[in-house]
Every structure is written in C-alpha cells, then in structure tokens.
Amino acid sequence: MIQTIGVIGAGQMGSGIAQVCALHGFDVTLLDVRPEALEKAVAGIDGHLARQASKGKIEAADKDAALSRIKTGTDYRIFDASDLVIEAATENEDIKRDIFKQLVPHLKAGAMVATNTSSISITRLAATTDRPERFIGMHFMNPVPVMQLVEIIRGIATSEDTYQSVRDLAHKLGKTSAVSEDFPAFIVNRILLPMINEAIYTLYEGVGSVEAIDTAMKLGANHPMGPLELADFIGLDTCLSIMNVLYDGLADSKYRPCPLLVKYVEAGWLGRKVGRGFYDYSKDTPVPTR
C-alpha cells in the first residue's frame, strides 16, 4: 500500500504533485538539487492552499495538515522509506537517466518508481533502473492541483500490481486516469503538440499574426487558450523537446519542429517562465512579440 510518496523536482509540476498528494493524506518527501527551489515550492504550496481555504474549498486545518506532511531535502537518502517516488524533472532523457541512477541505491526493495515524463519511452527509462517491473509512467497535467487527468503508461516490463497500485493512487488523489500505450508523447501530447507546432507554422508562414491565430482558435474552436498562448504556458523548450521525441520516434515529416519554434528556444524566449515567448509578459497585459 502506498502511504509515503517521494517527488523529485520542485518546479511547477513537482510542487503541484507534492501539494495534491499531501492534501489527500499522503506523507511527501520533496527533493531538488537547489535549496532555493525547495523554499520557493513550499511557499508556493502554502500560498495556493491559503487561497483554497479563503474560498472555502478546503478547511484551514486541512491546509496546516497538508503542509505538515511535506518534508524537503537535497539528498536522495530522504527516499529510503518511500513506497513510491515520482520523478518530475526537466523533460530531458539524459537528466532523467542520471536521476534514476542516483535514486535506486536508496530505495527499499518494494518501492515503485514513476516518471512524469510527457513524451519519453517508459520502457527505455525503466531499463535504466534495477526495477523495471515496478516502474511506470504517471503523467500529470499542468497545473496539477487544477487539472483532472493523469495519463498512466505501462512499460513493457511494468507489472500488473504496479499498474493497479498507481491507478488506485490516481483515483485517491481525485484524478481521472487515461491509460496510454508506450508510444512517443502518449495520448495528450501526441495530439496537442502537433496542433501547437502547426499554429507556429501558421505564424512562421505569415498566414496570421499571434493575436489572430489565438483569437481564431479560442473563438472558432472554443479552446480556453490559444495555441501560442498555451505554448508559452507549457514552455517552448518543452514543446520543442516533445516535437523532437515525436519526430525522432515516429520518423514522419509531419512532426518536424517548426524552424520558428527552434529559433525562439535558441533565443531563450521560452514563454511565461522567462517573461517572453510568443508574448512579452513584462507588463500587466501580455503583448505579442511578432
């Protein structure tokens, strides 16, 4: 039974996963190599739970109890009692492989490992560990406290017990699960990212402006966010990484990343997290950069 959950990476995804797990009664250990990232994550979780309490969505006592369940650290030894560790680091396979190499010596024999990857092969990542049968993909959507879906992806070696345990956990966290086969980018990003990439091609080829493209899709397709606004929210580096996984993994030219996306990433214009992408976020109202 899962009771103690480890989370690797204190960024937006990792802190969101930690928050949801702690709020639903699980003991959480949150690791990041940067102490300042851990401080920022805990402050962010505190603020988010405070807003939920002020709106009556949770009780003040629930907020305090959730925060008390979260422990932080920079040493992988903090995971020695974890029943499940969820990796939520940058969408980079080399970084993830290095994390698993450092993690597994500190895990107890029966501990399971999940990766929050949005596109990388679960089977390939599992093979870098000593427990491929207890390794699974658990792809949360961003922002984790708000979005209802978790994609669950079994690698070729993932056991039925691991799958059932993680599926049950997702439901205990108040999420709905969708099971995907282990193919590049799974379900959501296999469909979503090519649409975003096509929107960038539409901008690149001069078919429409940033504002026109986003307005057209919000009002014409009833999307809550335009595709370029959404790309900025996801992070253009993450968008490019996923498109490269699709292009490399499926060898189909329809997945070729738009040159304009590549150029923005090369410029460091990665979206909201750096204040500039397809929009400039330096003022109260975002302004298109093209």
Residue boundaries of the structural domains of the chain? 4-180, 193-278
For residues 128 and 96, give the distance between their C-alpha atoms in angstroms, rounded to a whole number: 10
In sequence order, the 6+-apart residues with CB closer than 8 A to the CB of 95 are 89
Mean pLDDT of 13-40: 97
- For the 4-180 domain, the top CATH level (class) is alpha beta
Residue 274: burial class (beta carbons within 10 Å; 0-12, 13-18, 19+): middle
Q: Confirm if 108 and 84 have CB atoms less than 8 A apart.
A: no
Q: pLDDT tens digit string along 130-157?
A: 999 999 999 999 999 999 999 999 999 9
Mean pLDDT over the full length of the chain:
97
Structure tokens given for 113:
């490992």
- Catalytic residue numbers? 118, 139, 151, 189
In sequence order, the 6+-apart residues with CB closer than 8 A to the CB of 87 are 8, 9, 96, 99, 100, 103, 113, 114, 115, 116, 117
Q: pLDDT tens digit string along 208-239?
A: 999 999 999 999 999 999 999 999 999 999 99
Q: How confident is the model at residue 76 (pLDDT cuts 50, 70, 90)?
A: very high
- For the 193-278 domain, the top CATH level (class) is mainly alpha
Q: pLDDT tens digit string along 78-93?
A: 999 999 999 999 999 9
The pLDDT assigned to 177 comes to: 98
Q: pLDDT tens digit string along 101-125?
A: 999 999 999 999 999 999 999 999 9
The pLDDT assigned to 13 comes to: 96
**How far is C-alpha 226 from the geometric centre of its chain's CA atoms?**
20
Model confidence, pTM: 0.91
